[in-house]
Each structure stands twice: as structure tokens, then as C-alpha cells.
Chain A
């Protein structure tokens, strides 16, 4: 992994690297303020992100997603570990990393009393782009992100969705290899979320690699090429949403049960060979098994023998929520 030895091999042709981001054991702790103790925000993150993919970094609030992203974006220095980002070494050459990445914080970063166009020009110029070129690139970005309509109004007048799209345009004004987005859809209405994801997908089709954190697992499932699930500062599992869902077990069967029946039903079903796992769900039980369609008749006969008749039976494909639950023992909402 990206030790000093391999750096030279990576540096000359970063764009052709299959892995655009490789991290090994990234760590960060913060002083907790009491008795010199520390809180381990990130306990050793290993990530591999491929060139040209949308990579989702998922987990509950406080899992270490934002801290990891801020380390990769050179905003905080890791306590330990290594990372190679678009061919540049994070610890040895953060300045070069900055040139190759874009980063959009959760809260954005636009000033109220300037226009979107002015912010884009300023951003380009902070990357060292000459004024004439900066003006032209800002104009191009306004067109590409469909912002021209309100480009010359002050940012304070923008809606949440408009401001977010300006934020993303700011993040890519210098055509970075990688764009880091921290919770880009949080706090937006569904229509604006859709627009933000459409922009992210457009950037991917233009060849950009996008790393996005989110705790909306359904969005990640639908839109990410690969995801890593983090919990307590570590990567719990990494892969395509499809593979992760397939891995935990085939199907989920939801049993709708009357109040008080969930306990006896669980007792009756426990020990059935086809059942991998059983969790209390909303108004009943969630059963994880390989082939739901085949198991339902057996399930029902076991329950009948115990004198329980479920109100409803639903067969579902597992979601990323189920993956998180299976890997951590908690649902993401509980965390």
C-alpha cells in the first residue's frame, strides 16, 4: 500500500490508475476534553475507490464519515495511516492532492452578499486560474449546472437546492479527478435531491470519480456503483450494493403479527434450518433466509402448529439497511 516505495510508481500516470483512491489504516482521534482522554473518530479506514465510479460512504451519524472525508480532502491531518489520491500522497504532498480533488462540505461555503457567478470566478482564481479563463470557466459551469437563470443574484436569495448546485459547481470548477461530497442531499426536498443526484451522475459520465457520504441508504443503493459501510470509525463492509445485499442472505420475509404474538412466533421459528436470522420489525418479525418463496409454506405451517396466524406475509429483497443490520446488529436509524 501507498508507502514511500510505491509512490514513485504511481505518480507519473495518475489518470490511468485503476484505483483512484487507496487508503490504508487512516486514523484520527480528538481530545475529548476530559482528563486528557481522546475519542477515536476514525480507527483505521481502508478504502479502494476505482476511477470513474460513484463511491458511497455510508453509515450512521458519528460513524466517522465526515472525518474521513475531511482527511482525504486535506482539511485535517490523519494521526496515522496512508492514502494515495489520484496519484498524490496525502501525507507527503497535500498541496498536490488539493490540486487534484474537489470537496463540497455538508454546509456548503458560499457567502451571502455575492452572486453564484462571483463565487465561481473566485473559486477558480483560488486554484490559480487566470482571470480571463476563470470568467470563461464560470460561464461554462453556470451553463452545465443550469444555473444561469439566477447566476447574478446574491447567494442569500437562493433556495436550498439552488445553493447546493452552486456548491457542487464550485467543487468542480477546476476539473478535479475526484469530487468529495459530504451529505449532498441532506435537508433538501425530494425534487432537489433528484436534481443533485442527476448532477452527480452527469459528472460521472464525464469521467469524474465521485465519493459521496450519505446516511440515506436507499439513495446510495440506487445511485452508487460501490459502497463502503462504516460504523464506529471502521469500514464494516465494502462492495457493490447488489453484492452486499446478496451476501447477507437471499430474502427478507416480513410477518405482520398482532400485538403479543411476536414473542411466541419467534420462539416457534427459532431453530428452523432455512432461517439465517430473525429480528423484531415494525408490527411483527423480519426473517432473513435464502429462498423466501420456498420457505413461506413451511414457515406458515410451523406458525400454525403454534396457533399463530400472521395478518400479512411480505417477501422482500434485502436493502442496504438490512446489510447494515446484519453486519452491526443495529438498524441505521437506531444508531
Chain B
């Protein structure tokens, strides 16, 4: 299994590099925890129209959205680290070797995914004292969905980094992609609060289905059709993003 071996090799190296720049670990953990502690208390009143009468219920709506936004945005911004590696010649040095091109992508994207999942677990644990309750099976399925989201958005972001003609274009492109995705998926506030036309637009956003699936899982409805719909949509898009970016890894050089 050359692919598995090479992916593990690249993954290990990326973990080592992350470990050696601990500032990212600190930032990565404190930011979402701040969202949880400083923003969430505003929610009870805002979410009241959705039937949230207690903090526990407000958190059940808010936390899955927060986790989704963490994985979507965390993944979308990971391409910036690839720009540094491209500039340093590390990608080129890898591409002269027979190492699997798909592994160059997967090793990096999986490292990102694991990092984001660790953050997701920390946020979930932090939300427990506030009354968040979710059954373990649903939670596990939610993490699968989150992992796929992180994998997809990381692959997408690496693809953007490889396809763009210069580094300066990365930031505006990622922001332009991320903003409507974020707004139209109802990650922070459910789109149930939105007017009908905005909801219909959102239904075309695959991330909307992912977020809806997350909320169904956290509110104890793993059988809700939106769960498998969200998983399916995200799984298909992940496969597309990974294969497209892997092609860029083997073909594209800057």
C-alpha cells in the first residue's frame, strides 16, 4: 500500500511541523473557546423563536454550527501554509521523488482534519458544563461529517493555492469563497430565522445541508433525512475536491 505508506509519511511530517510551531495550537484552541464563552451567552434570546427556552437548547443549536464553521473555515484557510511550502521549494523537492502525488495532498489534508477534530472535541467538552447534551452515537456521526467537511475544504484550499498564478491572489479568492458559504449555511444562526427567499438560495449551498445535518444530530434526531443527505452531499464533494486537487499536485508547479 504505497499510497497509505506515503500518506502516513507526509502526515507525520506535517504533524511534526505543527508541533514545532505551537503558536498555531494555542490560537486554534483559544479562538473557538472564546466564541463559545463570549458569544454563546447572547444566544438564548436570539434563538428563542426557534424554541430554545434554555441555555442547553440554545447550545444544541449553536454548537453544531460553531463546529461546522470551524471545520469549513479552518480548512479553507489551510492553503496558506502550502504557499509557504511552495515558496521554500518543499513541494518541488517532493515532486521529483516517486512519492505518491495523492499522498502529498492527503497527508496534509488529513493533518488539517485531525487538528480541526481535536479542536471540535475540545469545544464539545467545554460546552458540556453549559448544559449541552448529545448522545455518543450521534456525536460520533457528527464528527464523521465534520471530518469530511475539513477534508473537503482543505483539499479545495490546496487546489486554490496550486491553481492561482500568484500568492497575493490567495487571500481575496479564499475570502470570496468563504463568505457566502458561511452566510448561506446558517452556521452561526440558523437560516430558519431567514426570509423565505434567502432560505431557497441557501438550499443550493451544500454546506447548508451539512450544517442542518449537524443540528439534527445534536438535537437527537440521527434518523432525520437531512443527516444522510448532508453526509452524502459532503462525501461526494470531498471525493471531487480531493481528486481535483491531487491532479493539480501532480501537474501544477509554480
Which chain A residues (74-101) contact chain B, with CB distance < 8 Å?
74-76, 95, 98-99, 101
By the criterion of a CB under 8 Å from any partner CB, how many residues of chain B are at the interface? 21
Contact of B88 among A73, A74, A107, A170 (CB under 8 A): A107
Given contacts A107-B88, A111-B88, contact A75 B17 (CB under 8 A): no
Q: Can you name the residue of chain A whose Cβ is closest to the Cβ of B8?
A: A125
A307 on interface, CB distance cutoff 8 Å: no
* Minimum C-beta distance from A208 to chain B (A): 16
B9 near A126 with CB under 8 A, answer yes
A258 on interface, CB distance cutoff 8 Å: no
B21 on interface, CB distance cutoff 8 Å: yes
B98 near A109 with CB under 8 A, answer no
B93 near A128 with CB under 8 A, answer no
Contact of A111 among B17, B95, B98, B99 (CB under 8 A): B17
Contacts of A105 in B (CB 8 A): 89, 92-93
Contact of A95 among B85, B89, B90, B98 (CB under 8 A): B98
* Minimum C-beta distance from A12 to chain B (A): 21
B97 near A126 with CB under 8 A, answer yes
B196 on interface, CB distance cutoff 8 Å: no
Q: Can you name the residue of chain B whose Cβ is closest to the Cβ of A103?
A: B96
User: Per-residue 0/1 for B129-159: is the Cβ within 8 Å of any A Cβ (1 yes, 0 no)?
Assistant: 0000000000000000000000000000000
B92 near A109 with CB under 8 A, answer yes
Which chain B residues (17-44) contact chain A, with CB distance < 8 Å?
17, 20-21
A295 on interface, CB distance cutoff 8 Å: no
Contacts of A127 in B (CB 8 A): 97-99
B1 on interface, CB distance cutoff 8 Å: no
User: Per-residue 0/1 for B82-107: is the Cβ within 8 Å of any A Cβ (1 yes, 0 no)?
Assistant: 00010011101111111100000000
A110 near B88 with CB under 8 A, answer yes
Q: Can you name the residue of chain B whose Cβ is closest to the Cβ of A155?
A: B88
By the criterion of a CB under 8 Å from any partner CB, how many residues of chain A are at the interface? 29
A75 near B95 with CB under 8 A, answer yes
Q: Can you name the residue of chain A whose Cβ is closest to the Cβ of B251?
A: A77
Contacts of A95 in B (CB 8 A): 98
Contacts of A174 in B (CB 8 A): 97
Q: Can you name the residue of chain A whose Cβ is closest to the Cβ of B87?
A: A107
Give the docked Cα–Cα distance between A106 and B170 (Å): 25
A308 on interface, CB distance cutoff 8 Å: no
Contact of A113 among B9, B17, B93, B99 (CB under 8 A): B17
* Minimum C-beta distance from A29 to chain B (A): 16
* Minimum C-beta distance from A269 to chain B (A): 51
Contacts of A113 in B (CB 8 A): 17, 20-21
A75 near B94 with CB under 8 A, answer no
Contacts of B6 in A (CB 8 A): 126
A-B contact pairs, 27 of them (CB 8 A): A74-B95, A74-B96, A75-B92, A75-B95, A75-B253, A76-B253, A101-B96, A103-B96, A105-B92, A107-B89, A108-B88, A109-B89, A109-B90, A111-B17, A111-B85, A112-B88, A113-B20, A114-B16, A114-B20, A118-B16, A126-B6, A126-B97, A127-B97, A127-B98, A127-B99, A128-B2, A170-B93
Which residues of A does B touch, CB under 8 Å? 70, 73-76, 95, 98-99, 101-103, 105, 107-114, 118, 122-123, 125-128, 170, 174
